[in-house]
Structure 1
Amino acid sequence: MNVVDGLYPEGVALVFGGSGGVGSAICSELASKGVNVVSTYNSNVSRATEMAEEIRASGGSIGIAKLSMDDLSGMQKLVADLAEQYGRIHSVFIATGFDIPQINVRDVSPDQWQRVLRADVEGVFNIVYTTLPYLKKGGGGSYVHISSAALQRFAELDILSVAPKAAIEELIKGIAKEEGKYNVRANSIAIGVIETGIFLRLEKDGVFNDAWKSEVLKMLPMNRFGKPEEVANMALFLGSSLASYTTGQLIPVDGGFGI
């Protein structure tokens, strides 16, 4: 699959959070198919640079930009510059992630609640607010948001992850409902345990120990955890013309966790 197949138009795909495990896999898959990619990162410049070098070495086209999700003016400038440089922004992938504690609802403090919701929900709103006019101006486009399988089957201690995602899902549905007539689609991927990013850190720290992993695997018909490339494959599909009649959906990539 590549751009000349008509599955992605000319222009650029913008990946928010592309330096993370899932985000970098999405960048790599898009670039490998001939799509121009620009990825944002928050603070991990070394990983973002390393990813970009690997993609370019393989013949792909990618740019990177430092951006905080609460920097609305910086986001507006980036998007305007990309639209001018590439002529069109056709796809927006939202793979931002936050290093939050695994915690019971009863132990969440007001400060934690406000900080996490503001960072996640308002960050995604800023993305939509900034990019939607450009997608419409270009004749349409696609949003793909990386969400959580815990929206379909609540995972204990996951409240600070899943609560913001629930609000974002309504935003995704709103885009799908109201902007479909402008050929703008919006979908989410409900991911389960993926062997990358925060999972690997929590595994190293002993939070996700052997007992935890054993219990989770019992809930997975496929009896294994997922790979970032498996999420990227679904993202690539949803952003492409192969999914041209799919919008407003939350599609699991979770090894059957939600069954």
Structure 2
Amino acid sequence: MRFGIDTPDFPDSGCAIVFGGSGGLGMASAGLMAQRGSAIVVTYRSRRDESQQFVEQLRGLGYRAEAMACDVTDRAQVDAVYAGALKSFGRVHTVVSAGGLVFDTGPLADFRPESFRGVIETDVVGFFNIAQAGIPVLREGKGGSFVALITCATQRTVPLDALSATPKAAVQMLVRHIATEEARNGIRANSVGPGVVNGGMVIPMMKTETRKLLDMAVEFTPLGRLASCEEIAEAVAYLASSKAAYITGQALMVDGGLSA
């Protein structure tokens, strides 16, 4: 066994694409991968200004980064992101899916059908578009890695959380299929299941009557606190990196013990 050799986390060439990179988890993941040697493409659907400011910050630190508009439910827009990334950086070695809607919480019987349809379209169809368009791109680049952000609620049923857990469970299964079908092409696929995070979709919950659900989730978390976006990003960057070269088809729960 050899010690003292610092293996680069990411290839010198190519880039990582973070779909949904304008949110808290997406930005944290993109920033950490940039810090560890990867060029970055972040996508946004409506937060153009925030995404451009983030990219300028990365560039100011000497990192290579671009921002591109993308609605992941539109396959043509997803294809355009891959084409743009290849044009700018020559190769895509990492694809992170970090987007999602701010979803309703409550009893399943009370959901509006359009709410359920919306999260399925964004989370499940959106990830399908990302994955199916990305597989040939990663094959062409002689391999790479997918990482999808899901939820720890795929492992432990959280009351009133069906609109989050149901589509993310489908995403988790798609990740497992990529892992088993594409390993021969040097492609790995894993997912990260956050618990309750101090950022992203949780922020609106802090300002509404759903705050009690948030407090309940923290109460049932053994570590007894919210996670930071940076703590989730550590898991994303690790699974995407060469240090996780023998890990595929897995779901890493970063939830303070909530799913234990």
TM-score relative to the length of structure 2: 0.93
Is residue 168 from structure 1 mapped to residue 171 from structure 2 by the alignment? yes
Deviations 1:173-227 (A, max 9, x none): 0000110011100000010000002211210234214xx4443233112111100
Supply the distance in 1 between the matched residues of 2:214 and 2:120 (Cα, whole angstroms).
27
Structure 2: stretches of 5+ with no match in the other structure: 1-5
- Greater shift in the superposed pair: 78-87 or 147-156: 78-87
* 8 Å contact kept, 1:34–1:61: no
* 8 Å contact kept, 1:38–1:65: yes
Tell me the residue number matched to 1:8. 10
Is residue 67 from structure 1 mapped to residue 77 from structure 2 by the alignment? no
Deviations 1:74-98 (A, max 9, x none): 2212212322331210000000121
Q: Which amino acid aligns with 1:35?
A: S
Q: Which amino acid aligns with 1:116?
A: V
Supply the distance in 1 between the matched residues of 2:84 and 2:51 (Cα, whole angstroms).
20
Is residue 207 from structure 1 mapped to residue 223 from structure 2 by the alignment? no
Is residue 87 from structure 1 mapped to residue 96 from structure 2 by the alignment? no
SS in 1 for 2:82: helix
SS in 2 for 1:224: coil
Structure 2 residue aligned with 1:177, among 169, 176, 180?
180
Deviations 1:107-164 (A, max 9, x none): 1232222222122111100001111101011110000000001011111111111111
- Identity rate, percent: 34
In the alignment of these two chains, the number of paired residues is 254
* 8 Å contact kept, 1:13–1:92: yes
SS in 1 for 2:50: helix
Structure 1: stretches of 5+ with no match in the other structure: none
Supply the distance in 2 between the matched residues of 1:55 and 1:81 (Cα, whole angstroms).
19
Tell me the residue number matched to 1:107. 110
Supply the distance in 2 between the matched residues of 1:22 and 1:221 (Cα, whole angstroms).
22
* 8 Å contact kept, 1:148–1:192: yes
**Shift of the alpha carbon at 1:73?**
1.4
Is residue 131 from structure 1 mapped to residue 134 from structure 2 by the alignment? yes
Q: Which amino acid aligns with 1:18?
A: G
Q: Which amino acid aligns with 2:218?
A: L
Q: Which amino acid aligns with 2:148?
A: H
CA RMSD of aligned residues (A): 1.4
Supply the distance in 2 between the matched residues of 1:249 and 1:222 (Cα, whole angstroms).
23
Q: Which amino acid aligns with 1:175?
A: I
SS in 2 for 1:221: coil
* 8 Å contact kept, 2:55–2:67: yes
Tell me the residue number matched to 1:141. 144
Residues 18, 58 of structure 1: alpha-carbon distance in 2 compared, 3 angstrom cutoff: same
* 8 Å contact kept, 1:93–1:144: yes
Tell me the residue number matched to 1:117. 120
Tell me the residue number matched to 1:186. 189
**Shift of the alpha carbon at 1:45?**
1.2
SS in 2 for 1:68: coil
* 8 Å contact kept, 1:95–1:145: yes
Tell me the residue number matched to 1:221. 222
Tell me the residue number matched to 1:237. 238
Is residue 254 from structure 1 mapped to residue 245 from structure 2 by the alignment? no
**Shift of the alpha carbon at 1:34?**
2.3
Deviations 1:10-50 (A, max 9, x none): 20100000000100001111111221000000001122122
* 8 Å contact kept, 1:32–1:59: no
- Greater shift in the superposed pair: 148-157 or 215-224: 215-224
Q: Which amino acid aligns with 2:145?
A: S
* 8 Å contact kept, 2:100–2:122: no
- Greater shift in the superposed pair: 147-156 or 115-124: 115-124
